[in-house]
């Protein structure tokens, strides 16, 4: 029985970990940067979460509310409500778009936490022998 719980827990944890999100290099619309055709970098679009490295060394992150060949406007929610900041293309050194697997996007972060907790519980019960019959 312990082996069953351990295997179930490992499968559940693996499915959660495979659904983790990350950032991927992207290009701005009408970018003159050379793009390797094998990598097929995505183009930044309105509504995406992006992280940008600026020429000044600063790293900024936010939701794209407007993008064109001259500038990118990022929006963020904070203590002062929703704020927008404009960055000119000449200020931007690199752009990365946030991506996650379809499973994580559909489930949301809360469901991921629930699945991770269930997996941890199954492993703990399985390793402790808590559900094995008594002597």
Q: For residue range 42-72, list pLDDT tens digits in order.
A: 888 899 999 999 999 999 999 999 998 899 9
How confident is the prediction for the chain on average, in pLDDT? 76
Q: What does the pLDDT read at residue 20?
A: 61
Record the pTM: 0.57
Mean pLDDT value across residues 4-28: 69
Q: Where are the domains of the chain?
A: 1-21+100-129, 22-99
Which position has the higher pLDDT, 18 or 122? 122
Cβ neighbours for 95, distance < 8 A, ≥ 6 positions apart: 25, 26, 27, 28, 44, 50, 51, 52, 53, 72
What digits encode the pLDDT tens for the residues 104-131?
555 555 666 676 777 777 777 766 665 5
CATH of domain 22-99: 2.30.30.100
* Residue with more model confidence, 110 or 97: 97
């Amino acid at each position: 029985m312990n082996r069953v719980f351990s295997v179930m827990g490992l499968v559940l944890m693996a499915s959660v970990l495979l659904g983790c999100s990350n950032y991927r290099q992207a290009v701005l619309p009408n970018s003159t940067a050379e793009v390797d055709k094998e990598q097929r970098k995505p183009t930044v679009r309105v509504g995406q979460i992006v992280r940008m490295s600026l020429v000044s060394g600063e790293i900024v992150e936010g939701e794209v509310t407007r993008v064109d060949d001259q500038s990118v406007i990022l929006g963020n929610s904070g203590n002062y409500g929703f704020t927008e900041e404009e960055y000119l293309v000449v200020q931007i050194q690199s752009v990365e778009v946030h991506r996650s697997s379809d499973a994580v996007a559909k489930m949301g972060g809360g469901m991921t936490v629930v699945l991770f907790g269930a997996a941890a519980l199954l492993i703990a019960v399985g390793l402790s022998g808590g559900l094995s019959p008594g002597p």
